Structure 1
Amino acid sequence: MSLDGAYDPDNLFARILRGELPCAKVYEDADVFAFMDIFPQSRGHLLVIGKASRARNLLDVEPGDLAKLIAGVQRLARATRAALKPDGLAVSQFNGAPAGQTVFHLHFHVIPRYAHEPLRGHAQGTAADADELAVLARAIAAEID
């Protein structure tokens, strides 16, 4: 998919928001929803999405919605650091399929980085164990201020 196009209300993340698909939820408020990535690039990889916006990518989002979303990203990155004690944190966001975007609902990745552990490929490999994701989600949620 290109950078332009109509928002698909049946995309994977919209369906998760509506409760039609399961996820290991980390956090939810009026504006932000966060859950564990089912194909994590490292232990503790989570996704942060906006609840109100129908933006496909960063270029589509309303500035007010983006401000709320990025504040949520920061809050969740801090909680991830406190819970998992990674050596570093990567925050990423992709726009368009050629850039690596696979779900066309604006989202940010919070990816803990651990020294001497290689990063797995984006949206590749086998799905993570649901029980392990739930444990990580609870650990991160417990550290949200």
Structure 2
Amino acid sequence: MPIDATQPYDPNNVFAKILRGEIPSSRVYEDEYAIAFHDIAPAAPTHILVIPTGPYVSWDDFSAKASDAEIAGFVRAVGIVAREAGAVEPGYRLLANVGRHGGQEVPHLHVHVFAGQPLGPMLAR
């Protein structure tokens, strides 16, 4: 069910539990700013989620409240994850859903990295 991107951060959301190690994940990257792990229901041959280690509900929340170091570290982590996955060539897609109309389902900022096949048009028509 899509969520409101302006709601308060819920420390019991599934990604917060993954960050704390309460729920297992197949991690492919971790540093002080982000962790990345394989999606449990992949929508492409490569489908990795990258989440910040800080408590941010959405891209809007993160861009408004995160420190410059957190923003730079998170963006760099997304790039590292894509490169390490071998996705740069022939290409990949990044997706961050924000709020109800954007289809955001977990109230913790996350970026999807999709690769491994032609991904088609950006939006279904």
Q: TM-score range by the shorter chain?
A: 0.7 to 0.9
Moved over 6 A (4+): none
Who is 1:122 aligned against? none
One of 100, 105, 109 as aligned partner of 1:106? 109
Q: Tell whether 2:58 aligns with 1:57.
A: yes
SS in 2 for 1:60: helix
Q: C-alpha distance in 1, partners of 2:39/2:120? A: 17
The 2-side partners of 1:79 and 1:36 are apart by 13
Instruction: Tell me how large the CA RMSD over aligned residues is.
Output: 2.0
Secondary structure (helix, strand or coil) at the match of 1:16 reads: helix
Letter in 2 for 1:73: V
Identify if the C-alpha distance between structure 1 residues 86 and 24 changes in structure 2 by more than 3 Å, giving closer, same or farther. farther
Q: What are the ranges of 5 or more consecutive residues in structure 1 without an aligned counterpart? A: 120-145
Aligned 8 A contact 1:56 1:104 in 2: yes
Q: Secondary structure at the match of 1:15?
A: helix
C-alpha distance in structure 1 between counterparts of 2:39 and 2:114, whole Å:
10
Say which of 70, 86, 109 aligns to 1:81. Answer: 86
Matched residues, number:
115
Counterpart Cα distance in 2 of 1:58 and 1:118:
24
| Corresponding residue of 1:69 | 74
Write the deviation string for residues 45-100 of structure 1: whole angstroms up to 9, x where unpaired: 0000111x211001111142222111100111111126xx8632001111113201
The residue type paired with residue 92 of structure 2 is L
Q: 2: distance between equivalents of 1:92 and 1:10?
A: 23
**What is the distance in 2 between the residues matched to 1:98 and 1:17?**
26
Percent identity between matched residues is: 36
Q: Which segments of 5 or more consecutive residues in structure 2 lack a partner in the other structure?
A: none
Asked if 2 retains the 8 angstrom alpha-carbon contact of 1:42 and 1:113, the reply is yes
1:94 aligns with 2:106: no
TM-score, normalization by structure 1:
0.72
SS of 1:7's equivalent in the other structure is coil
TM-score (norm 2): 0.83
